[in-house]
Structure 1
Amino acid sequence: MLNVGIIGTGNISDTHLRAYLDASDEVRIVALSDLTLERADAKREAFALTEARSYADVEEMLGAEDLDLVSITTPPSAHREVAVRALEAGVDVIVEKPMAPSLEDCDAMLDAQRRSGRLLSVIAQNRFRDEMMVLKAVLDSGELGPVSHARIASEWWRGLSYYDLWWRGTWASEGGGCTLNHAIHHIDLALWLLGSPQAVAAMMTNAQHHNAEVEDLAVAILQYERGLAELTSSVVHHGQQQEIVVQAERARISQPWSVVAETAQPNGFPTSEGDSAFVAELDAFAESLPRLEHTGHAGQLRDVIAAIRDGRDPLISGEDGRRALELVTAIYAAAIERRTIDLPIPAEDPYYRAGTLEARAPHFFEKTASVASQDGGITVGGSSDTVAPPASATA
């Protein structure tokens, strides 16, 4: 039985708590920590964690409890410090996305993980969705041929009050806008499905949120050896339609699952019927794939639990979290400097270091409100994945 602690008791911690409670045959939640002890107590009471203890100091919790694993669900600016402390205390760590605001922070966390020999995983729960597993399996099969183009739409909508929460809306505390904190899901998926691009060009703006310094809309072009991908990161899109469309040599596949395959007439124009046999073959292959027993956060946290139990690496590592942050950093650098950014980003590049974004990024507007907490549920994955806290929980 693994002893688990939660560091940070805002809304996203609810998702971790539910996943751990669902795996109560393998883990028990023994401690919760938050800068405000009352918030930790409220969360403990909301989830009826009668045997867990609350702390206002992470060091105190790490020293007092016999912990095997912690979930870090603090604002991104605190991830590095808290993760390094936990790893150095000999505790395995799973940290919410994004891994950290800078590559320098990511590498400090990875160094601590290597020194300690402990496990470090970064949340990328959308890999644990059946429709994403289907895309991955079809692409990995090689049946489609080389990829020509991908369109990745990370399109969300958030009202003005979204950025009133104290840590959101500034480069210093949030680390970025929708590219870092929303499109990180699809950026991880793009890297998982397509691999790392060679270069990035991008533009960004703040189109609708005059109470935030950070961007609420960005469009990036990713260059691969032969193909291209376009990524839209947004919190201004009504309808919140997230989509991945991959155009390859033999067919187009997309999420939600759909297949189209053209064939050519002698003059090169498409035939009217297309390659119906290949479409049927891909549909049958997709249908034959096993479905996941646990999806989203529950799927990833169960993988981490199994990795600890079996002494193996988790399916999603700290290195995966760093790769996603590197692509985010390249998008920001390209948009700010108005030039193409080559990957990988070396340690001597200014954008590798913590503080560069805060110093160089435009403040589209100044943050005009700062509240300690907010009521309401949160959207954590696809547009249908809404998480509402228990009625008695604080936001």
Structure 2
Amino acid sequence: MIKVAIIGTGAICPAHVKGYLQFPHRCKIVALCDIYPEKAEKMKQEFQLDARVYHNYQDVVKEEQIDLISVCTPPYTHANITIASLDEGKHVLVEKPMAASLEECDAMLEAADRNHRLLSVVAQNRFTTPMMRLKHILDQDVIGKIVHTQVDSYWWRGYSYYDLWWRGTWEKEGGGCTLNHAVHHIDLFQWMNGFPDAITAVTSNVSHDNAEVEDISIAIATYQDGALAQLTSSVVHHGEEQQMIFQGEKARISVPWKVVASNAKENGFPEPDQKRMEQLNQIYEQYPPLQVEGHAGQINDVLHAIESQGKVLVDGEQGRQTLELITAIYQSANTGESVRLPLDKKARFYTRDGILQHVKPFYKKGKSVDNFSDQSITISGSEK
């Protein structure tokens, strides 16, 4: 039985609790921790957990009975809590984004390596049937070379969203919609499409003058073979329509699922390639649906890796790569220059201090509240 602790009992915590509770014969939540212990106590009562409540994470990581820790705190705390947990011999599942800087990511990776413990970064959208099916098709090269990718990470958040005390500041949140909302789509993008050679980006804040950070960004990624990708991150799009479109030489596929394939007429104009579309639809439908999805799917993956002493699908290196793309977007947008990848330790935005030194806040954060009475959130455009 794997003993689990959850540090941070805010809005994302219930997704972890519900995930672990799907595997009662494999794991048990034995500890909840929050700087506001009444929140942890409320979570304990809501899910009727047989767990101890803590207000200090240092006490949690020292508990010998704990095997695995979920880190569900604000991004600027991820590195310290994760490293302390790994150094005490615990495996860690840390929420997105992995950390506030690449320097912190590297310190977390070093801690996992020296302590021989698993480090997994939450990317629950990988653990969905549509995404696994899309990845399966891309790996088979049925649509040919990818020539253009479109990633639309569209969300909508009202003005009061940034009133929460840690949101909307570069110091505490580490960034805006690019880091904290589009992180999932950017993770999927680099997992499916590979790592680009350069990023050119612009950011803006058009609707939230109570935040220092961006509420929309547009980035262009370039590849050595000439392929392009465009990534839009937003919290100003009503409807929250989200999509990923891959244009190959032979066909177009996407999530939500849609396939279009064309052949060229004698004059170069398109006509439908029905045979290829039927083939792609068949491959898509034949891929078996996942038994558990989302956070529960990733938790299942982590539990299996601990039980089998194997590897996780989304490890620290993958989490770092996602943050590296986001860091490049911020560096490009704030310097007005294209950024070559990969980023090294000399990059201006490699450290947290470097980010705070070079970033240009849009506004000064004003109102600040400790908590919202309504803790419900939306994940991928639907209530969870």
Normalising by structure 2, report the TM-score.
Answer: 0.98
CA deviation map 1:359-387 (0-9, x unaligned)? 2222111111111111141122x213x22
- Partner residue in 2 for 1:246: 246
Specify the alignment match of 2:143 in structure 1: 144
Tell me the residue number matched to 1:216.
Answer: 215
What does residue 24 of structure 1 align with? 24
Q: Aligned runs of 1:123-138 on 2, under 5 Å?
A: 123-138=122-137
**Counterparts in 2 of 1:199-278, with a 5 A limit?**
199-225=198-224, 226-271=226-271, 274-278=272-276
- How large is the RMSD of aligned CA atoms in angstroms? 0.9
1:57 positional shift: 1.0
Matched residue, 1:175: 174
1:28 deviation in Å?
0.4
In the alignment, the residues of structure 2 paired with residue 40 and residue 291 of structure 1 have an alpha-carbon distance, to the nearest angstrom, of 34
Q: Which amino acid in structure 2 is aligned with residue 90 of structure 1?
A: G
Contact 1:172-1:355 at 8 Å conserved across structures: no
Deviation at 1:240, TM superposition (A): 0.1
Cα deviations by residue, 1:33-92 (Å, 9 ceiling, x for unpaired): 11122222121112111x210011111122235110000000000000000000000000
Report if the CA contact (8 A) 2:331-2:348 is conserved: no
C-alpha distance in structure 2 between counterparts of 1:325 and 1:376, whole Å:
26
| Counterparts of residues 291-370 of structure 1 (less than 5 Å) | 291-370=289-368
In structure 2, runs of 5+ residues without a counterpart are none
Question: For residues 157 and 174 of structure 1, what CA distance do their matches in structure 2 show?
Answer: 18
Given that 1:216 and 1:235 are in contact with CA atoms closer than 8 Å, whether structure 2 keeps it comes out as: yes
SS in 1 for 2:53: strand
Separation (CA, whole Å) in 2 of partners of 1:10 and 1:219: 29
Is the 1:100–1:106 contact (alpha carbons within 8 Å) kept by the matching residues of 2?
Answer: yes
CA distance in 2, matches of 1:286, 1:40: 42
- 8 Å CA contact retained: 1:31, 1:65: no
What is the CA–CA distance in structure 2 between the aligned matches of 1:29 and 1:376, rounded to whole Å?
21
Deviations 1:323-374 (A, max 9, x none): 0000000000000000100000011112111122222222111111111111
Question: Are the aligned partners of 2:348 and 2:355 in contact in 1 as well (CA < 8 Å)?
Answer: no
Q: Which residue of 2 aligns with 1:52?
A: 51
**Alpha carbons of 1:65 and 1:48: their partners in 2 closer, same or farther (altered >3 Å)?**
farther
Correspondence for 1:393: none
1:390 aligns with: none
Determine helix, strand or coil for the equivalent of 2:270.
Answer: coil
Task: State the one-letter code of the partner of 1:14.
Answer: P
Q: Residues 15-39 of structure 1, C-alpha deviation per residue, up to 9 Å, x if partnerless?
A: 0001011111100000011112222
Equivalent residue letter for 2:258: S
Matched with 1:279 is 277
CA–CA separation in structure 2 for the residues paired with 1:148 and 1:363? 35
Give the partner amino acid of 2:320. Answer: R
Per-residue deviation, residues 175-196 of structure 1 (Å, max 9, x unmatched):
0000000000000000011000
One-letter amino acid matched to 2:256:
P
Contact 1:155 1:233 in 2 (8 A): yes
Does 2:36 match 1:36? yes
Which 4+ residue blocks in structure 1 deviate beyond 3 angstroms? none
Q: Is this contact kept in 1: 2:9–2:39, CA < 8 A?
A: yes
Of residues 25-34 and 63-72 in structure 1, the stretch that sits farther from structure 2 once superposed is: 63-72
Does the Cα contact within 8 Å between 2:10 and 2:375 map onto a contact in 1?
A: no
**Alpha-carbon contact 2:349-2:358 (below 8 Å) kept:** no
Contact in 2 for aligned 1:32/1:53 (Cα 8 Å): yes
Tell me the SS of whatever aligns to 1:80. helix
1:199-243 C-alpha deviation (Å, 9 max, x unpaired): 000000001001000000000000012210000000000110000
Percent identity of equivalent pairs: 47
SS at 2:39 equivalent = helix
Write the distance in 2 (CA, Å) between the matches of 1:357 and 1:369: 23
8 A contact 2:221–2:228 mirrored in 1: yes
Counterpart position of 2:371: 373
Match of 1:70 in 2: 69
Alignment deviations for residues 265-321 of structure 1 (CA, whole Å, 9 cap, x no partner): 1121113xx101110111011111110000010000010000000000111101000
| Structure 2 residue matching 1:263: 3-state secondary structure | strand
In the alignment, structure 1 segments of 5+ residues that lack a partner are 388-395
Which deviates more from structure 2 when the two are superposed, residues 35-44 or residues 125-134?
A: 35-44
The separation in 2 between residues aligned to 1:311 and 1:63, in whole angstroms, is 22
TM-score for both structures, normalised by structure 1: 0.95
Contact 1:244–1:255 (8 Å) recurs in 2:
yes
Q: Secondary structure at the match of 1:202?
A: strand
